């Protein structure tokens, strides 16, 4: 029987049929952190911690960490390279903002998401709802099986570009520092009300909004494009994720910076990217090419290339600027 250690990435999941989904490994650090966040968020029900300034801080930081940090940076910039920043240092600053969402370091996040695109809704997808809605929403990373643990080999396979970047590796290893510093800052400036609303409650709201993209937008909603997965477009997820809910559009045009395609598919993250381009901080914005019968340029993804084999320097898939 084939065995797999924590430091070996399996050649294929066929080696893992007997261990996939087996109870045993629990990511205790993640579980305790998220449990503490949920308990902390409940403190928002205590009237003594309510203030309008705390609500404002909660909303602003929700957009900043969830919209700018996760949707714009972790997802569209680092995972899919659908645009580029000028200067490069801005990419690192945006990544620090992403760390403040408490979704882990960028390298592991990007690796998981590229793998999702390469194997969407198959047995090799770490968070397909076909394995259960709750699994896709939040349990997959709390009880990761051997196919999705963040081993060095796993990260090297799915995020080799970020693994070569010393700054990204440093930020990834120290990602927890940034939400902790933010919590301390909130407490020092605004007291318990800012900590509870801008720290704990905001974190929980951002986390569940992000997780809905993995769960709800592979179950409910409408499909504009006949992709090979179960992805859907869902308006209310698009609202709470600043445009990420147009997930079927995204699976069809994965490297496009714009996810909302129809005029009423509002995409706040794309608007923010455009806004940054107007002041010269963003360039090389990639767009979907529609309509066309064959697979569009934008669907030739980094994730698909990585699934085909390990990358070496200079082998990265070409990021073609769509007109
Ligand atoms: Zn998806
Ligand atoms: Zn994606």
Question: Domain range holding 242?
Answer: 25-142+152-322
| Domain-located, residue 225 | yes
pTM summary value:
0.83
Q: Two tokens at 33?
A: 């952190």
Ranges of beta strands (E only) in the chain are 84-85, 282-283
Tell me how far the alpha carbon of residue 83 lies from the centroid of ligand 2, in angstroms.
13
| Domain-located, residue 4 | no
Q: Is the predicted pLDDT of residue 89 greater than 80, yes or no? A: yes
Q: Is the predicted pLDDT of residue 41 greater than 60, yes or no? A: yes
Is residue 236 within 8 Å of residue 266, measured between CB atoms? Answer: no
Which residues lie below 8 Å from residue 20, measured CB to CB, with a gap of 6+? 13, 123, 145, 146, 147
Encode pLDDT of 57-82 as tens digits. 999 999 999 999 999 999 999 999 99
In whole angstroms, give the CA distance from residue 278 to residue 24: 51
| Domain-located, residue 12 | no
Q: Which ligand is nearest to the CA of 302?
A: 2
Q: Is the predicted pLDDT of residue 306 greater than 50, yes or no? A: no
Encode pLDDT of 208-260 as tens digits. 999 999 999 999 999 999 999 999 999 999 999 999 999 999 999 999 999 99
| Domain-located, residue 5 | no
Minimum mean pLDDT range among 1-15, 32-46, 109-123, 200-214: 1-15
Give the total number of structural domains in the chain: 1
Tell me how far the alpha carbon of residue 47 lies from the centroid of ligand 1, in angstroms.
39
Tell me how far the alpha carbon of residue 51 lies from the centroid of ligand 1, in angstroms.
37
Tell me how far the alpha carbon of residue 86 lies from the centroid of ligand 2, in angstroms.
22
| Domain-located, residue 15 | no
| Domain-located, residue 173 | yes
In whole angstroms, give the CA distance from residue 220 to residue 59: 26
């Amino acid at each position: 029987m084939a065995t797999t250690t924590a430091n070996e990435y399996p050649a294929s999941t066929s080696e893992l049929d007997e261990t996939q989904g087996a109870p045993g490994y629990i990511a205790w650090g993640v579980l305790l952190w998220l449990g503490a966040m949920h308990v902390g968020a409940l403190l928002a029900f205590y009237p003594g911690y309510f203030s309008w300034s705390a609500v404002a801080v909660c909303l602003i930081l929700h957009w900043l960490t969830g919209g700018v940090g996760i949707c714009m940076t972790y997802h569209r910039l680092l995972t899919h390279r659908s645009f580029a920043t000028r200067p490069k240092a801005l990419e690192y600053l945006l990544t620090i903002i992403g760390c403040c969402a408490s979704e882990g370091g960028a390298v592991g996040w990007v690796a998981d998401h590229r793998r999702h695109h390469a194997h969407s809704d198959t047995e090799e997808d770490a968070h397909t709802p076909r394995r259960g809605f709750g699994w896709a929403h939040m349990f997959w990373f709390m009880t990761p099986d051997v196919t999705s643990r963040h081993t060095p080999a796993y990260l090297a396979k799915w995020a080799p570009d970020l693994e070569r970047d010393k700054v990204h590796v440093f930020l990834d290893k120290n990602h927890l520092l940034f939400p902790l510093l933010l919590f301390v800052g909130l407490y020092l400036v605004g007291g318990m009300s800012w900590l509870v609303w801008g720290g704990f409650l905001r974190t929980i709201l951002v986390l569940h909004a992000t997780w809905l993209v993995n769960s709800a937008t592979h179950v409910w909603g409408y499909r504009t494009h006949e992709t090979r997965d179960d992805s859907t477009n869902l308006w209310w997820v698009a609202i709470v994720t600043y445009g990420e809910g147009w997930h079927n559009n995204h699976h069809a045009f994965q490297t496009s910076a714009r996810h909302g395609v129809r005029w009423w598919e509002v995409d706040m993250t794309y608007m923010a990217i455009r806004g940054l381009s107007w002041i010269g901080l963003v360039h090389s914005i990639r767009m979907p090419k529609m309509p066309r019968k064959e697979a569009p340029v934008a669907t030739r993804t980094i994730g698909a290339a990585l699934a085909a084999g390990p990358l070496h320097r200079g082998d990265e898939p070409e990021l073609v600027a769509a007109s």
